[in-house]
A and B are shown apart, each in its own frame.
Chain A
Amino acid sequence: MTCTEFLAQLDDLIDESVTAEMRADLREHLRGCEHCEVTLDTTRKTIEIYRSHEIYDLPSAVSQRLHAAILARCKKGC
């Protein structure tokens, strides 16, 4: 397997949607390719860091305004 072929499967590997056979081939490539190992590892970390950090926090004042607006609209009925 070449690095380009590995890269084509990168997302499916991360999303755990590769067949057992393909997974074995990808693991085999990783054993001999430090570059692809780094790419896989740091891509996983990229996803994890964006998933675990709230970069746009909803301020409570904005939330309160939203609930007041919803309530005012709902009182009129659907």
Chain B
Amino acid sequence: MATIQPIAENEQHPDVALVERVRAGDVSAYDTLVRKYERQIFRIAQHITQNREDAEDVMQDAFLKAYEKLEQFQGNSKFYTWLVRIAVNESLMRLRKRRTGRMVSIDEDVETEEGSVPRDLADWAPNPEQNYTQAELGEILRKTIQGLPQGFRVVFVLRDVEQLSTEETAETLGLSVPAVKSRLLRARLQLRERLTRYFRKKKGSKEAGPKETGVEK
């Protein structure tokens, strides 16, 4: 999985040169940017819309919109962060269309107190993911993160999966830094708690127990 590496202040991010080439009319430079970030943008759109078709549309619309608005890109934030902001907005708009008459925002459902304090304190088996096939594990991880409130899920995805900084996440979502920090802690604790149901160390054994059948508990 690609990660976004921090760059030194006086070092130019390679995307800046690509953006300049696109502005000069080099279409292949934009294709390079699309190839570099398409997987991340698709993931983010999937996490927010929770719908495969919507995620495909959002990804396409976000890249087309970014291309059309490229003149507005100032370069004082990273191209990727700017692109993510467009994709998040497109995803939320898509949700609003699906749920007509109902506002959709990243502030939805965040008032819950669930998971703000760890309750299930069982340790995990060593390498617990090895007790599941890749398909089973994917299903567990998807179901678990889908169960988080939207406002927690998107913060976790941007901070911990896509590895944006706290400040970049706050800027992208239009939240304060303390709000991002508060949501991130609760998202991490809730996911940890929910994954413990699958990954806990079995009593009386240093190793994980026999493989569970199915992933639902």
Q: B174-202: which residues lie under 8 A (CB-CB) from chain A?
A: 181, 184-185, 188-189, 191-192, 195-196, 199
User: Which partner residue on chain A sits nearest B134 by CB separation?
Assistant: A53
Do A50 and B161 touch (CB < 8 A)? yes
Do B192 and A43 touch (CB < 8 A)? yes
Q: How far is the CB of A42 from chain B (nearest CB, A)?
A: 5
Q: Provided the pairs A42-B123, A78-B71 are in contact, do residues A69 and B191 lie with their beta carbons within 8 angstroms?
A: no
Interface of B: prevailing SS: helix
Do A56 and B27 touch (CB < 8 A)? no
| B38 interface residue per 8 A CB criterion | yes
Do B27 and A74 touch (CB < 8 A)? yes
| B142 interface residue per 8 A CB criterion | yes
Taking a contact as CB atoms closer than 8 A, the residue among A53, A56, A65, A69 that contacts B47 in the complex is A56
Cα–Cα, bound, A65→B55 (Å): 13
Q: How far is the CB of B158 from chain A (nearest CB, A)?
A: 12
User: Which partner residue on chain B sits nearest A46 by CB separation?
Assistant: B192
Taking a contact as CB atoms closer than 8 A, the residue among B67, B189, B199 that contacts A78 in the complex is B67
| B129 interface residue per 8 A CB criterion | yes
Q: Provided the pairs A39-B192, A66-B38 are in contact, do residues A50 and B30 lie with their beta carbons within 8 angstroms?
A: no
Q: How many residues of B are in contact with the other chain, CB < 8 A?
A: 51
Cα–Cα, bound, A69→B56 (Å): 12
Q: How far is the CB of A40 from chain B (nearest CB, A)?
A: 10
Q: Provided the pairs A69-B64, A70-B67, A78-B70 are in contact, do residues A43 and B138 lie with their beta carbons within 8 angstroms?
A: no
Cα–Cα, bound, A7→B163 (Å): 22
Cα–Cα, bound, A41→B121 (Å): 11
Interface centre among A50, A62, A69 (most CB of B within 10 A): A50
Please, which residues of chain A bring their CB within 8 A of the CB of B18?
none
Complex interface bits, A44-77 against B, C-beta within 8 A gives 1, otherwise 0: 0111011111111010001101110111011101
Do B129 and A49 touch (CB < 8 A)? yes
Do A11 and B185 touch (CB < 8 A)? yes
Q: How far is the CB of B69 from chain A (nearest CB, A)?
A: 9
Q: How far is the CB of B62 from chain A (nearest CB, A)?
A: 10
Please, which residues of chain A bring their CB within 8 A of the CB of B118?
7, 35, 39
Cα–Cα, bound, A49→B188 (Å): 12
Taking a contact as CB atoms closer than 8 A, the residue among A11, A49, A71 that contacts B181 in the complex is A11
Q: Provided the pairs A51-B1, A70-B30, A78-B70 are in contact, do residues A38 and B195 lie with their beta carbons within 8 angstroms?
A: no
| A30 interface residue per 8 A CB criterion | no
Do A70 and B63 touch (CB < 8 A)? yes
Do B123 and A41 touch (CB < 8 A)? yes
Nearest 5 A/B pairs, CB to CB = A56-B46, A74-B27, A46-B192, A58-B42, A43-B192
Q: Which residues of A contact B (CB under 8 A)?
A: 7, 10-11, 14, 35, 38-39, 41-43, 45-47, 49-56, 58, 62-63, 65-67, 69-71, 73-75, 77-78
